[in-house]
């Protein structure tokens, strides 16, 4: 436990990028195209001072100290030419480097069988052939061996020699000069060689169709165009790389971005949970890391349910719900989001199943949502139990819209089972984000949600900043207007006649 505390402290305080990757993994949030070699190298540098044996977790595997040191050696062996350090304009030819690797001469007729037997000893590096022609003997082939699996004396171990004996192969290992080019280096290897030593290397990005979306740090900005081009080169299908240059702080939730490399085409197509979306990435909000959350909410729905999507964007909640045969009302204030929402409804053949609106969120709630809720609640009975859901995915502000539901509907309160369920998103920097979000929701609703709500960690947005979702049925005492009670009739004293009886007695 103490060991992990030390690791966490190092990663968070000294290497922020690595820390975010670690925390992202621990919270099981979505992160695409992320690699970890820098984390291990930093750990090695620290724990070389720590005696004994320890374990380090990488994704779902465990590595011993010797294996981590081997990874460090791998980084050193497969490094580009040192002269590329500080390069800001990509020169692919400058990355050429020759390394020495062990080889084994083998008759070509036994190559396939031998490779299966020596699969843990041969060179497994992506982009490099394990078998090459022998320029001196056309009947033989040269098998490239992993330098880390061969002893310093260039001799094979006993088990490998036994295998070679079975195939009547000379166990003599020779040296071979292998030329590595830019194409043979991985993204992080290229960037590690270019950026100043000691600085963290960001090779992670979010992919939206043909676009790679990066969030570069200040120290990486002098190399931004090179980084963008490397991302394109190393990832098939990526033809454009962009960097966000401001935070999402405007009315429409989109952000300014700069094209780093490639084509400047921002209209892209992407698939999420088996549904296709098209949009202009520069004018709408889209976050691929919310794919799991979109699917989680849709799992709550069943055919016949009603979904009100207050901040619908281009439709990642609305369209899957319509595909599930729900009745959907979708709204977004951004005209561009509304345009692409309509487009995606047609693209996915649900345009007849979704009613779309281009309104302010409050106006949407007070207008179409109130009208439809009134209608639905009047039809709902114990026999007809389709549920009503209101999704409010605007984490920066959505929680402030909850006051709209105070005394929202006329009429008598309905059964608790029929009350609409709200799924409201919010950011939190609190030490206890679940408690923080619940308390803020209660403040806007004017009632306690204790025992009546659930909170879900959606993802870690930044160090000490979480995106949360609070789900609850709107309490009846909040949702329905309070009507003043009629004054109770004056109680009669014992043996006192009523006015009618009094009148009768006088007539008598």
Cβ–Cβ < 8 Å for 51, 75: no
State the pairing for strand pair 211-214/206-208.
antiparallel
- Which residues lie below 8 Å from residue 405, measured CB to CB, with a gap of 6+? 365, 422, 445, 474, 478, 479
CA distance 71 to 61: 14
CA distance 272 to 309: 18
Residues 35, 39, 44: CA angle, nearest 5 degrees: 140
Of the candidates 327, 321, 209, the residue with the CA atom closest to the CA atom of residue 276: 209
Q: What are the φ and ψ backbone dihedral angles of 174, each rounded to 5 degrees?
A: -115, 170
For 477, the enclosing helix (H) or strand (E) is helix 476-479
Which residues, in sequence order, are bridge partners of residue 474? none
CA atoms within 13 A on the CB side of 409: 25
Q: Where is the binding site for S-adenosyl-L-methionine, in residues? A: 294, 332-333, 360-361, 393
Q: Where is the binding site, in residues? A: 294, 332-333, 360-361, 393
Both tokens of residue 329? 């009302």
CA distance 374 to 366: 11
Helix boundaries (H) for 259-410: 291-300, 318-323, 335-347, 361-364, 370-379
Of the candidates 313, 304, 213, the residue with the CA atom closest to the CA atom of residue 262: 213
Neighbours of 126 (CB within 10 A): 6
Both tokens of residue 102? 């062990």
Cβ–Cβ < 8 Å for 60, 200: no
Residues 345, 348, 349: CA angle, nearest 5 degrees: 80
CA distance 59 to 342: 40
CA distance 492 to 498: 8
CA distance 313 to 336: 9
Which residues, in sequence order, are bridge partners of residue 144? 103
* Residue carrying the six token digits 């990435």: 281
DSSP state of 430: S
Residues 332, 333, 335: CA angle, nearest 5 degrees: 95
Cβ–Cβ < 8 Å for 178, 101: yes
- Which residues lie below 8 Å from residue 483, measured CB to CB, with a gap of 6+? none
* Residue carrying the six token digits 């109770």: 488
Both tokens of residue 161? 């020699």
């Amino acid at each position: 436990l103490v060991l992990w505390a030390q690791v966490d402290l190092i990663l968070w305080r000294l290497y922020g990028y690595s820390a975010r990757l670690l925390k992202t993994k621990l919270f099981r949030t979505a992160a695409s195209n992320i690699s970890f070699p820098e984390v291990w190298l930093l750990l090695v540098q620290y724990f070389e001072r720590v005696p004994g044996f320890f374990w380090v977790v990488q994704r779902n595997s465990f590595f011993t100290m010797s294996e981590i040191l081997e990874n460090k050696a791998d980084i050193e062996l497969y490094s580009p030419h040192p002269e590329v350090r500080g390069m800001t304009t990509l020169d692919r030819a400058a990355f050429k480097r020759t390394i020495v690797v062990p080889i084994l001469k083998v008759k070509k007729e036994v190559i396939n069988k031998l490779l299966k037997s020596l699969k843990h000893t041969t060179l497994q590096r992506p982009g490099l052939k394990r078998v090459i022609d022998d320029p001196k003997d056309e009947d033989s082939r040269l098998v490239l061996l992993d330098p880390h699996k061969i002893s310093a004396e260039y001799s094979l171990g006993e088990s490998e020699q036994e295998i070679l004996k079975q195939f009547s192969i000379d166990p003599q290992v020779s040296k071979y000069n292998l030329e590595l080019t830019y194409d043979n280096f991985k993204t992080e290897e290229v960037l590690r060689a270019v950026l100043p030593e000691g600085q963290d290397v960001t090779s992670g990005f979010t992919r939206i169709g043909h676009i790679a979306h990066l969030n570069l740090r200040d120290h990486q900005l002098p190399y931004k165009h090179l980084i963008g081009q490397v991302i394109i080169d190393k990832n098939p299908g990526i033809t454009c790389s962009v960097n966000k240059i401001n935070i999402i702080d405007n009315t429409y939730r989109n952000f300014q971005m700069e094209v780093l490399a490639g084509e400047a085409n921002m209209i892209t197509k992407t698939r999420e949970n088996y549904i296709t979306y098209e949009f202009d990435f520069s004018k709408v909000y889209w976050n691929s890391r919310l794919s799991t959350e979109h699917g989680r909410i849709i799992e709550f729905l069943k055919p016949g349910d009603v979904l009100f999507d207050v901040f619908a964007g281009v439709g990642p909640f609305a369209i899957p719900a319509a595909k599930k045969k729900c009745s959907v009302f979708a709204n977004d204030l951004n005209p561009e989001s509304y345009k692409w929402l309509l487009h995606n409804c047609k693209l996915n053949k649900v345009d007849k199943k979704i009613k779309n609106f281009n309104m302010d969120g409050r106006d949407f709630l007070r207008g179409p949502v109130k009208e439809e809720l009134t209608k639905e609640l009047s039809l709902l009975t114990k026999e007809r139990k389709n549920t009503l859901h209101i999704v409010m995915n605007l984490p920066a502000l959505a929680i402030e819209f909850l006051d709209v539901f105070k005394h929202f509907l006329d009429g008598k309160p309905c059964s608790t089972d029929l009350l609409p369920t709200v799924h409201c998103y919010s950011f939190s920097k609190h030490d206890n984000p679940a408690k923080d979000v619940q308390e803020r929701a209660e403040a806007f609703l004017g009632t306690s949600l204790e025992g009546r709500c659930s909170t879900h960690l959606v993802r870690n947005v930044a160090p000490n900043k979480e995106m949360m979702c609070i789900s609850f049925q709107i309490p009846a005492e909040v949702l329905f207007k309070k009507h003043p009670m009629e004054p109770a009739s004056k109680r009669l004293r014992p043996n006192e006649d009523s006015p009618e009886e009094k009148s009768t007695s006088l007539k008598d």
